[in-house]
Chains A and B, each alone.
Chain A
Amino acid sequence: MKRVFYILSFIALFIWVVPNYFNYSKNRDIYYKKLDSLERLDKREIPSDAKKFHAELFKEDTKRYFKGVNDVNITVLSIPNNKYEIKIIFPNIYLSNFLKALYDTPLNYRVYLDNTIIYRQSNKIIEVSFIVTPY
């Protein structure tokens, strides 16, 4: 009986525990490398973990990138397939503010951008629309 337990212990050790440990240690290295890459890409002043996407929170956060600018209009529309269509209207002199907000979006929220960004410009006002998908 005792021998059976010892044999089972050895089998479990070599077939299950050791491979699990090696996988764990390999994945740990991968994780830290990825984390390092992400940190290098993160140019925010105060880095934080990406949050779950929330329309109202997104509007509030994006407005902070246009501090002191009154003519900014942000709409977030929920569309089929768990996607959100985002429209941002702002004076064209604040293009760099918008681009900073756009760059930081995947850092602030767990979303990725669908393929295209559409810019429309009229009377020095830019309207940008794009679609994001939370993951």
Chain B
Amino acid sequence: MINREQYITITHYKEREFYFLNYAIQTQEGFIPKEMAQFHESEKDRFISKIRELQKEYPNHHIVSISLAYKQVLAHTPTPKDSSKLIANIFKSNYIIQDNDLPKDIPITLYFSPFAILYEEYKSILNNKLILLIGYFDRKLFMMFATKDKIHECWIIGTRGLSEKKIAERVNLTTKKYYELSSNTANHIEILVSEENPKLLKFLREELSVDINLAQNSIHQLLHHMGSSNEIAEMNYIKDFKRINIEPFEENNLNDIKLEEESRFVDRLKSIFIPSREENLKSSILASILPLFIILVVGTFYYLQNRTLISKIEQISTQISALNKMESLVDSSLNIFNAVKNNGEILKAVLSVDSVYITGKAWGIPKLEANLKHLYKNGIFTIKTGDGFSSIFTFSSK
């Protein structure tokens, strides 16, 4: 089959300041994606001329794009024709309406709302129970409540500048509002993302506490699928689109494509084992960074270990000094009580490491004085008469 007969889908969309372009050969068995390209918005002309080139090369084509407009609303009745609005019939009497934002200079022949893509992706699993479908494209959450017979509600949440936790809270808040209005709840959520965001999924799971399934697919793949048959393409915003005609594929041509794919695969394999000059340079720089990295890791290890050791040493030193002081006081206490025993009775004793002051009753005065002076040679022992016949002694030493 020559290029003139092959049906291809050229997909493009703009995210932030980049245009993303891809094309795929559509066959009755599915599509075969081909080269992908990315253009900065300053290279818009190059981007458009690439589309024109593909259009010329493959006359049987559709140029498929996605609307990432922030305002896309659900209606249950067809609205009168209005050139300023785009209307897509997604399912039975479920319409998505938005302002006409079709670019004049960039060709588009099929233009899909993310809600149409969401419905197409999940229509096979819809049943009587309410399911919340969420599409995460270009930092916007396209949310849709659906059952097998109806799309109930659609809305969009912008996530730019919000933390994942805040996004999850917003999702929870808006769904709760819907539950209050409809008195129906969903206990299952399907999320379709074009880029991975595990943190958001984690917070959504925490915030919503319901069963959540995640699927990831690129916008190009989703759009190639949307442009793969007339039945699906009906869901797009452009009503009078050219009917899709996929010619049956001849075995030889399929083989050609397969061969081409295989040769690219072999090239890729080769590139893994035989690195290019640029890769060689990169790997040699990486190899030279490695010793520095290892040295930094080892250094950090010893630095942290050392800090821990210093803090342990400080603690153990304080403990030893507290224990030595305590030992000295315990010994002094024991010695003083033993010295006074049998010769008197302590009434009050104030003990510290370097001084002692004792007062008490005495009855064996010479022995008591001798015992105490044996312990503290420079101590001063005094005796005076107390009440009745008792003698009161004081002993102090510094």
Which residues on A are within 8 Å of B, measured CB to CB?
Answer: 1-2, 5-6, 8-9, 12-13, 16-17, 20-21, 23-24, 27-28, 30-31, 34-35, 37-38, 41, 50, 95-96, 99, 102-103, 105-107, 110-113, 115-122, 135
Is A34's CB under 8 angstroms from B317's CB? yes
Query: Are A2 and B284 CB-contacts (below 8 A) given A116-B350, A135-B318?
Result: yes
Give chain B residues whose Cβ lies under 8 Å from the Cβ of A102: 326, 329-330, 333
Is A112's CB under 8 angstroms from B288's CB? no
User: Smallest CB-CB separation from B316: which chain A residue?
Assistant: A34
> In B128-157, which residues have CB < 8 Å from any A CB?
none
Additional A-B contacts beyond A1-B288, A135-B315 (8; CB < 8 A): A5-B288, A5-B289, A6-B291, A20-B299, A50-B319, A99-B333, A115-B352, A121-B347
> In B156-189, which residues have CB < 8 Å from any A CB?
none
User: Smallest CB-CB separation from A99: which chain B residue?
Assistant: B330
Q: B274 near A: Cβ within 8 Å?
A: no
**Mask: chain B, 284-312; 1 = CB below 8 Å from A; 0 = not:** 11011101100110110011011001101
Is B349's CB under 8 angstroms from A38's CB? no
Give chain A residues whose Cβ lies under 8 Å from the Cβ of B316: 31, 34-35, 38
Q: B325 near A: Cβ within 8 Å?
A: yes
Is A117's CB under 8 angstroms from B353's CB? no
Interface centre among A24, A95, A122 (most CB of B within 10 A): A24
Give chain A residues whose Cβ lies under 8 Å from the Cβ of B319: 38, 50, 106-107, 110
Q: B272 near A: Cβ within 8 Å?
A: no
Give chain A residues whose Cβ lies under 8 Å from the Cβ of B309: 24, 27-28, 31
Within the complex, what minimum Cβ distance (angstroms) separates A66 from chain B?
16
User: Smallest CB-CB separation from A120: which chain B residue?
Assistant: B348
Give chain B residues whose Cβ lies under 8 Å from the Cβ of A115: 352-353
Query: Are A12 and B327 CB-contacts (below 8 A) given A116-B350, A121-B345?
Result: no
Is A16's CB under 8 angstroms from B351's CB? no
Is B320's CB under 8 angstroms from A30's CB? no
Give chain B residues whose Cβ lies under 8 Å from the Cβ of A113: 322, 325-326, 329
Q: B266 near A: Cβ within 8 Å?
A: no
Chain B residues touching A, majority SS? helix
Give chain B residues whose Cβ lies under 8 Å from the Cβ of A16: 299, 303
Is B352's CB under 8 angstroms from A116's CB? yes
**Could you write out 24 A-B pairs with CB less than 8 Å apart?**
A5-B288, A5-B291, A9-B291, A13-B299, A20-B299, A23-B302, A31-B316, A34-B316, A34-B317, A38-B323, A41-B320, A95-B334, A99-B334, A102-B326, A103-B330, A106-B326, A112-B325, A116-B352, A117-B350, A119-B349, A120-B347, A121-B346, A121-B360, A122-B347
Number of interface residues of B (CB under 8 A): 47
Within the complex, what minimum Cβ distance (angstroms) separates B133 from chain A?
50
Within the complex, what minimum Cβ distance (angstroms) separates B136 from chain A?
40
> Bound state CA distance, A9 and B292, in angstroms?
5
Is B350's CB under 8 angstroms from A118's CB? yes
Give chain B residues whose Cβ lies under 8 Å from the Cβ of A35: 316
Q: B265 near A: Cβ within 8 Å?
A: no
Is A112's CB under 8 angstroms from B330's CB? no
Give chain B residues whose Cβ lies under 8 Å from the Cβ of A99: 330, 333-334
Query: Are A117 and B329 CB-contacts (below 8 A) given A20-B306, A106-B322, A112-B321?
Result: yes
Is A38's CB under 8 angstroms from B320's CB? yes
Q: B337 near A: Cβ within 8 Å?
A: yes
Within the complex, what minimum Cβ distance (angstroms) separates A90 from chain B?
13
Give chain B residues whose Cβ lies under 8 Å from the Cβ of A110: 315, 318-319
User: Smallest CB-CB separation from A118: which chain B residue?
Assistant: B350
> Bound state CA distance, A67 and B298, in angstroms?
52
> Bound state CA distance, A8 and B285, in angstroms?
13
Is B295's CB under 8 angstroms from A12's CB? yes
> Bound state CA distance, A11 and B353, in angstroms?
51
- Find B322's partner among A112, A116, A120 (CB 8 Å cutoff): A112
Is B318's CB under 8 angstroms from A17's CB? no
Give chain B residues whose Cβ lies under 8 Å from the Cβ of A116: 350-352
